[in-house]
Amino acid sequence: MAYVSIESDDRMEEGPEGLQFQSFLDSDPRAPNAGGNAGVNAGRGYVQDRSSPGSHGFWSFEYFQPYFDVDTKTVFRRCYMTMFPPSATSYLSTHLSPGADLYGPFWTLTTLIFSLFVCSSLASAIASWLSNPDAAAIIAYDFGLIFTAVGLVYSYGLAVPILLWFALRYLGVGEWSVIEAVALWGYGQFVWIPVSVLCVIPIPLARWILVGVAFLLSGYFLVANVYPVLASADAKPVRLIIILLVLLHAGIALSFKILFFSYYAVREIGVPDPITAPPVTL
């Protein structure tokens, strides 16, 4: 009969047929990097994922860091798919999977603010030049517009979804997270960026058509994603909130059109605008 001598230390020795013995006396089973135990515990779900937002405080930078960890290709795909109506109903499950982000919505809203300000100033300069072609074309920046754009865009793109989420939580509706709500509203405003560029065209009818198309595309996108959440509530009157959201969305669309793209030449091109335009200043 053969015997194998095992010493009580941390070394590994081989017995017959490659049998190995290892000591775990000095390892901490709670440590994430505790040798072989880490892989076993992680597989059983015992090791906490320190990269998840839930492992950090709400007011810490680490809590929000995973929501900004997204590549540019994904952000672009999530932006332009908001303008494709057939994908609106499955946007949350298809395009915001595996998780919503805050990076794309933040830069979408910020780019919209910049686009409204610059394109509105350019539209004013074009209207001034058309009114008096002999004068030199000067772009006069009205910096009050940028503060107006910041207030409108951030209030509608950030404050509205957060308030809606809190209201639905109070009513007992918890079908989505606040991050998903902000992501939907942020990405849903992407259509206004190309529309603001096209609204530089000094034709009133064309501008109204562009604003109407943007209102329908972004409005349908929001309704298609928000109404199923409202419909999951036990109280049927909760669904009426969608009417308030549609009216609010229409108000934002009119605000964009009237405040930023109502600059026309003295002689308007095409069909006259039904809303009186403010005077053009050089």
CA dist 166 and 160 (Å) reads 10
User: Does a structural domain hold residue 160?
Assistant: yes
User: Does a structural domain hold residue 167?
Assistant: yes
Give the single-character DSSP code of 4.
-
210: closest CA among 200, 198, 222, 202?
A: 198
- What band does 266 get if pLDDT is binned at 50, 70 and 90? low
pLDDT at 219: 95
Q: Which residues pair with 20 in a beta bridge?
A: 14
- What band does 267 get if pLDDT is binned at 50, 70 and 90? low
Q: Give how far Cα 29 sits from Cα of 11, 12, 42, 46, Å.
A: 19, 19, 11, 10
Contact between 95 and 81 under an 8 Å Cβ cutoff? The reply is yes
pLDDT at 36: 42
Q: How confident is the model over 96-113, as a mean pLDDT?
A: 89
Q: Give how far Cα 4 sits from Cα of 10, 13, 14, 21, 22, Å.
A: 17, 10, 9, 11, 14
Contact between 280 and 263 under an 8 Å Cβ cutoff? The reply is yes
Q: Which residue range(s) make up the domain with 167?
A: 73-260
3-class DSSP assignment, residue 13: strand
- Return all residues near 243 (Cβ < 8 A) that are at least 6 apart: none
CA dist 215 and 221 (Å) reads 10
pLDDT at 271: 61
Number of domains in the chain: 1
User: Does a structural domain hold residue 23?
Assistant: no
Rounded to the nearest 5°, which phi and psi values hold at 257? -70, -50
User: Does a structural domain hold residue 55?
Assistant: no
CA dist 15 and 124 (Å) reads 87
> What is 89-141 written as a DSSP string?
TTHHHHTS-S---SHHHHHHHHHHHHHHHHHHHHHHHHHHHHH-TTS------
State both tokens at 79.
């932006």
The angle, 0 to 180 degrees and rounded to 10, between the axes of the packed helices 143-154 and 241-260 is 170
* pLDDT digits 0-9 by tens, 11-68: 444 444 555 545 444 444 334 444 444 343 333 333 333 344 555 554 555 666 776 7
3-class DSSP assignment, residue 169: helix
Q: How confident is the model over 251-258, as a mean pLDDT?
A: 94
- Return all residues near 32 (Cβ < 8 A) that are at least 6 apart: 38, 42, 47, 50
Rounded to the nearest 5°, which phi and psi values hold at 82? -70, -20
User: Does a structural domain hold residue 4?
Assistant: no
pTM: 0.71
26: closest CA among 46, 10, 42?
A: 10
pLDDT at 157: 94
Look at 231 and 246; give whichever has higher pLDDT. Answer: 246
CA dist 223 and 237 (Å) reads 16
CA dist 128 and 137 (Å) reads 7
User: Does a structural domain hold residue 195?
Assistant: yes
User: Does a structural domain hold residue 218?
Assistant: yes
CA dist 121 and 125 (Å) reads 6
Rounded to the nearest integer, the mean pLDDT of the chain is 77
